[in-house]
Structure formats: structure tokens, C-alpha cells
Amino acid sequence: MTSGTTSGTALKERRYRLLVGGYAISSYGTFLNLIALNLYVYAVTDRALAVGVFLIVRFAAGFLTGLVCGPLLARWSAKSAMLWANLFQAAAMVLLVAAPDGYRTAALFTVSAAVGGAGTLFMVAFRSSVPHMVGEGRTTWANSLMVSWRSLAMVAGFASSGLVVSLLGYTAAFLADMVTFLVCALAVALLPTGRGRPDGEDGEDEDGEDGEGGAQDAGSGGKGAGRAGGTGNAKGKVRSSAALAALATAPALLLMVALRGVDALGSSSHNAALPVYSTRLDTDDPAVFVSVFWCVWAVGNVLVQQVLRRYTRRTQRSVGALGFGLGTIAMSATFVLAFAGFPWAATIVVAVLAGAADGLTEVAYTSHLQTLPSGLRTHAFGLSATVENLGFGIGMIVVATALDSFTPLSVVAVAHGAAIAVALVFVAQVLWQRGASRRAAGSEGEGNGNAGPARGSHRDGAEVSGR
């Protein structure tokens, strides 16, 4: 039994590593094209405003897709959603390459919407299915692995984009991105289909990657909240409404998602301000600071993932909601310091800390949402994607306007200062609810001499009621 369990766990980890590998390759193509597409939009339209509209369309598509991810994933398996999301993005790249000259602008904005919407669907399906793929006790390890490889892919994509475009041209960059999406689709296709489920059932087997009933049962046992019996679209709509209503009963969880949205607004500020700040530092070679900063940031991100994996393996505990709140404060503070004009040595230290804090918050946040019951998990991730896209999209518009009148430091300080303020409120609420849980556990222990420590004493206060 033990050897069978061990081999089953090893098999699931190999399958997950394969999927993360495909995702990392597609992420490389995404970040490569993030630069190439922006340059191409300007080359085709000859208008800087078009670049901003292009990004707005992308985030708007992600925003709208996040609203419907929960109902979609109640009807599709996560494997199907991830597969078609990648194929759809690959087809969009083909459309862009094949579009006649007179239709290039329309094709560009079609691609923007396709990448924004399909990318959001893929990530919601991916993140919400991780507990089924690896088991709930391995989610921190799984998320850490995903974030590590995505960070490396981001640096590689950004670093090689200029070289690929200058040496091979835009068409080669777009075709390379298409290939990366096909590679990710192949990795998804190689996952086992798993057990089927009735149409419209928002049940615990919706992800189906596992193919091993025991793992899926372990991932769903005792989590029937948000699941109603019966089939059909009407039932699915009732379940979706019930899931959203259940999320609304957890103010701490909603505050956590809201903090993620404000954090996205802060992220938009440093992403927009870095090129401006780098140009002011070195007008002859403005790419130096940006490149070095993101490379060092990735080092910090990868290093903290190693620490997180060892921590969870040794303690069998995740960082949790409190870690997310404290990590957000540290991340926002270090990003502000990055624009303070410190010497190179100090700035490199700040960039490492920013990457480490960024990686911590990503894993803590994702892992915490993955503890929700299956019937609520996809809705929570869909809501989160909507809020994040909204925060980042609004931030890009506001920050781009503000940078014309204010210094990068002041703009970033205001945006990330807002994130710090919300994070302080969130941390205070988590600590208060932890204290309330301990007091309730103590009262229960006094009333029952045989009662042990309440399981709820270590909860973060961001759970859905009734779990």
C-alpha cells in the first residue's frame, strides 16, 4: 500500500512537472510577444495611443472572462479549458501572421482580446485544479514550482525579445509564440482524462487530470459546500449563484481578493515607471537598468521558492493569508525603494527582496484560495482574475497619465502606498480573527475538559463560512 501510494504520488508529480514545463514555455512566448506586440502595434498604427488601447483591450478581455470562468468550468473539465485556451491563442497568432496589410490593425486587436481572454481562462483552470492534480498537501510545492518557472520564463522572454525582433523580425516572434502555445497544449493533452462527470455538475471531479480516483476523492472529501444535486443549465446557474453568495459571506476573503486588485494597480505603476526611470538614469542605454532589475528580481523570486518548499516540507504548513498580507507590504515597500535613487549595490539588494516578496505573496495567495471547496474554488479564482485585470488595467491608464506630470518615485509610492494601506487593514483583520478563534477555542476547552486544541485556532480568518 505504501509503495503504491508513493508511486502514485511520484506519477502525479511527473505529470504536474510536465504541465508546468509546457506552461513555462508558453509563458516565455507570452513575455516575448508582450514586447514584440507592443512594438508592432506602434509600427502598424504609428500612434502611441494605440499601444495603450491595445493593452486596455487585453485587460478588458481578461476582466470579462474572469466573470464567466466559474460557470464555464462548471461545465467543462479543466483539461479541456486549458487545452482550448492554448489552441485558441495559437490560432490568434496564425491570424495575425496571415492577415492582409489592410486588416493588420483589426487583427492586432483581435489577438489582444484572444490572448487576454484565453490566458485568463487557462490560469483560472490551472490554479483551481492544482489540488486535484497533486493533492491538497502539496499545493504550496506545486505553486512554488509554477511561479519559479514562470519567473525564469519572464526574464528569458523579456531578454530575448529585442534580439528576436531585430534579427528575425515580427513574423518570427509571432510564430515562435504560436509554437509555445502548441507545446503547452500538447503538455495538457498528455494529461490523463480521468473520470467523467454529468453535464453541469459542479462537482469535485471537474478537473479530471488525476485519473486516480483516490487522489480526487482525497482532494474533494468533505467539501460539498456549493454543490447542489441534479444536472442541467438551470441547476448550474443556481449553483453558481450559491457559490458567489457563499463567497460574499466571507468578508476577509473578499478583502484578500480586493488587496490583490490593489496590488495589481501597484504592479502597473512600477511596470510603467521602470522604462521612464531607466531612461533618466542612462539616456544612452536605457535598457540596462530594466534588464538588470528584472533579472535580479527573478533571482529573488526563485530563491524564495526554495525556502518555501523546505519550510512546507519541514513544518507541513503553508504560509497562509497572514503571509500574503505581510508579503504584500514588503513587496510594495521594496518596489518603492527601487525608485529611490540608491547606488547600484543597494538597488540590487532591493530588487532581490522585491522578487522574494513577490514570489511569497503569489504562492501564499494561490495556495490559500486552493483550500476552498471545489464548488467555490473556480468562482474565487475567476473573481480574482477579474479584479486583478481591472486593477492592472485602471492602473496602466492612471499611471501613464501621471508619469507625464510627476516623478516615477512619487507615482510608484502613491500606487504601492495604497496597497500597503489595504494590506495593513487585511493583516489587522486576520490577526483579530485569529485571536477570536483562540479565545473561542479556550472557552470551549474550559467547558469541556477533554477537548483538545480547536482545529480552527490556526486558521487565517479568510475562509468561507461553513467550511
Q: Computed from CA positions of residues 162, 113, 241, 256, in that sequence, does the dihedral angle turn out positive or negative?
A: positive
Q: Computed from CA positions of residues 445, 451, 455, 458, in that sequence, does the dihedral angle turn out positive or negative?
A: positive
SS3 277: helix
Query: Contact 161/35 with Cβ under 8 angstroms?
Result: yes
SS3 407: coil
Q: At what angle do helices 213-220 and 2-45 cross, to 10 degrees?
A: 80
CATH code of the region 237-444: 1.20.1250.20
Query: Contact 130/370 with Cβ under 8 angstroms?
Result: yes
SS3 256: helix
Place of cell 502548441: 182
Interatomic CA distance for residues 384 and 63, integer angstroms: 9
Query: Contact 246/226 with Cβ under 8 angstroms?
Result: yes
pLDDT in tens, 364-412: 999 888 888 877 888 888 888 889 989 988 888 888 888 888 999 999 9
pLDDT in the model for residue 122: 94
**Which helix or strand (DSSP H or E) is residue 381 part of?**
helix 374-402
Residues in contact with 132: Cβ distance below 8 Å, sequence separation at least 6, in sequence order: 78, 204, 205, 207, 208, 209, 210, 215, 216, 219, 220, 374
Give the closest residue to 189 by CA, choosing from 24, 25, 69, 19: 19
pLDDT in the model for residue 47: 67
Domains 1-137+146-197 and 237-444 share a fold: yes
- The shares of helix, strand and coil residues in the chain, as percent rounded to the nearest 5, are 80, 0, 20
Interatomic CA distance for residues 263 and 319, integer angstroms: 18
pLDDT in the model for residue 228: 37
SS3 347: helix
CATH code of the region 1-137+146-197: 1.20.1250.20
Give the closest residue to 175 by CA, choosing from 160, 188, 159, 164: 164
pLDDT in the model for residue 3: 57
pLDDT in the model for residue 19: 93
Residue 80 CA: distances (Å) to CA of 85, 117, 129, 438: 8, 15, 12, 43
pLDDT in the model for residue 223: 37
Give the closest residue to 185 by CA, choosing from 279, 105, 84, 104: 84
pLDDT in the model for residue 7: 67
pLDDT in the model for residue 203: 40
Interatomic CA distance for residues 263 and 253, integer angstroms: 15
pLDDT in the model for residue 5: 58
pLDDT in the model for residue 219: 33
pLDDT in tens, 5-32: 566 677 888 889 999 999 999 999 888 8
pTM for the full model? 0.76
pLDDT tens string, the chain, 467 residues long: the values are 455 556 667 788 888 999 999 999 999 988 888 778 877 887 777 766 677 778 788 888 988 998 888 888 888 888 999 999 999 999 999 998 888 877 888 888 888 899 999 999 999 999 998 988 888 778 888 898 899 899 889 888 877 877 788 788 888 889 999 999 999 999 999 888 654 343 333 443 333 333 333 333 333 333 333 333 344 455 555 555 555 565 655 667 888 999 999 999 999 899 888 888 887 887 777 667 887 888 889 889 989 988 888 888 787 777 778 889 999 999 999 999 999 989 989 999 999 999 999 999 999 999 888 888 877 888 888 888 889 989 988 888 888 888 888 999 999 999 999 999 999 999 999 888 887 778 777 776 555 554 443 333 344 545 544 33
- Reading the block at residue 139, the C-alpha cell is 499545493
pLDDT in the model for residue 105: 82
Residues in contact with 290: Cβ distance below 8 Å, sequence separation at least 6, in sequence order: 274, 275, 278
pLDDT in the model for residue 250: 65
The ranges assigned to domains in the chain are 1-137+146-197, 237-444
What does DSSP assign to residue 405?
T
